[in-house]
Amino acid sequence: MMETSLQYLLFPCLLLCCRTNEVLPAALTVSPSRSQFFKRDSVSLSCEEDNSSAGWTVRRNTTKGTRTQCGDGWGIPSASTCTISFLLSWDSGVYWCESREGAASSSIQLTVTGGSVILQSPVLPVMEGDDVTLSCHTKTAPSNLPAAFYKDGSLIRTEPAGHMTLHHVTSSDEGLYRCSISGHGESPSSRISVSGSDLPVAMVMTPPTKADQGLDKDYDDVTTEHHF
Ligand SMILES: *[C@@H]1O[C@H](CO)[C@@H](O)[C@H](O)[C@H]1NC(C)=O
Ligand SMILES: *[C@@H]1O[C@H](CO)[C@@H](O)[C@H](O)[C@H]1NC(C)=O
């Protein structure tokens, strides 16, 4: 009985690990780590890679072009890092890493605002169960002014110190967030995505065993959270 359960747990986990390596050959990291920027800010985008000979470069889709490569009219490439030293509104768009052979990392959305307020939120999907802190900044004033936070267009709450923590996030926290600071204005919206941990995703791929009612219950719980 015990051996059977273990098989069901381990086999899909091995599948998942192999699959993950193929799907995510490089990760794009952003410095400073946020998805909203003021005009004239600078940003560095790096492809974190395990094989530099694969020739990873940063590419983007904006209103000015699709799949354009760093150095091709925007950004300064250096190894697998791309620096944009003077952001303008039309640098807003989707960025990702791509190898010479066409393998792509997951993509991130960057937004450059001409306004005077930005929301600082995680660039990459956050893990289910984590705490996530959002903060609202103006370009000039100290960063701890009172701010109102909105999700999908509705006010969540106003925070006196300009930052808000979402505790133990679940998929119900996913959505478009923005903030505003009285007398300064409103930030653009950015999406927050929540991803499940690896183990529950692997367990969804496992056929439920009638042998163990306790495990069956876990599968049911997990399946309601993760749909492919
Ligand atoms: C690194 O990438 C190159 C070019 O894509 C490939 O030929 C080589 O096998 C890779 N090496 C490893 C260790 O993955
Ligand atoms: C970039 O744009 C091309 C052409 O519209 C599209 O096929 C591709 O999926 C886009 N890439 C991302 C990461 O959004």
In this structure, the answer to whether residues 102 and 28 fall within a common structural domain is yes
Q: Mean pLDDT: which of 138-147, 197-206, 214-223 is highest?
A: 138-147
| Tens-place pLDDT, residues 209-223 | 554 444 444 444 443
- pLDDT band for 203, please (50, 70, 90 cuts): very low
Nearest atom within ligand 1 for CA of residue 99:
5
Neighbours of 179 (CB within 10 A): 29
Ligand 2 pocket: which of 60, 66, 94, 191 to mutate (most atoms <8 Å of CB)? 66
For the chain, how long is the longest CA-to-CA vector?
Answer: 66
Read off the tokens for 3: 């051996």
Ligand nearest, relative to CA of residue 107: 2
CA of 82 to the centre of ligand 1 (A): 22
CATH number at residue 52: 2.60.40.10
Nearest atom within ligand 2 for CA of residue 104:
13
Query: Does residue 212 belong to any structural domain of this protein?
Result: no
Instruction: Quote the Cα angle for 68-177-194, to 5°.
Output: 80
Read off the tokens for 52: 């530099």
For ligand 1, atom 5: residue with the closest CA: 54
- pLDDT band for 80, please (50, 70, 90 cuts): confident
Between residues 3 and 78, which one has the greater pLDDT?
78
| Domain, as residue range, for 187 | 115-197
Ligand nearest, relative to CA of residue 50: 1
In this structure, the answer to whether residues 122 and 180 fall within a common structural domain is yes
Domain count, the chain: 2
Could you tell me what percent of the chain has a pLDDT over 70? Answer: 72
Q: Mean pLDDT: which of 24-28, 102-106, 210-214 is highest?
A: 102-106
Query: Does residue 176 belong to any structural domain of this protein?
Result: yes
Q: Is 68 in the pocket of ligand 2 (CB under 6 A)?
A: no
CA of 48 to the centre of ligand 1 (A): 15
Q: In the prediction, which pLDDT does 199 show?
A: 46
Read off the tokens for 221: 């719980």
Q: In the prediction, which pLDDT does 79 show?
A: 85
| Class of residue 5 by CB neighbours under 10 A (exposed 0-12, middle 13-18, buried 19+) | middle
- pLDDT band for 6, please (50, 70, 90 cuts): very low
Between residues 149 and 102, which one has the greater pLDDT?
149
Domain boundary among 93, 114, 135: 114
Tell whether the model's pLDDT for residue 5 goes beyond 90. Answer: no
For ligand 1, atom 7: residue with the closest CA: 54
Angstrom distance (rounded) from CA 2 to CA 30 = 45
CA of 49 to the centre of ligand 2 (A): 22
Instruction: Quote the Cα angle for 122-125-126, to 5°.
Output: 75
CA of 53 to the centre of ligand 1 (A): 6
CA of 202 to the centre of ligand 1 (A): 28
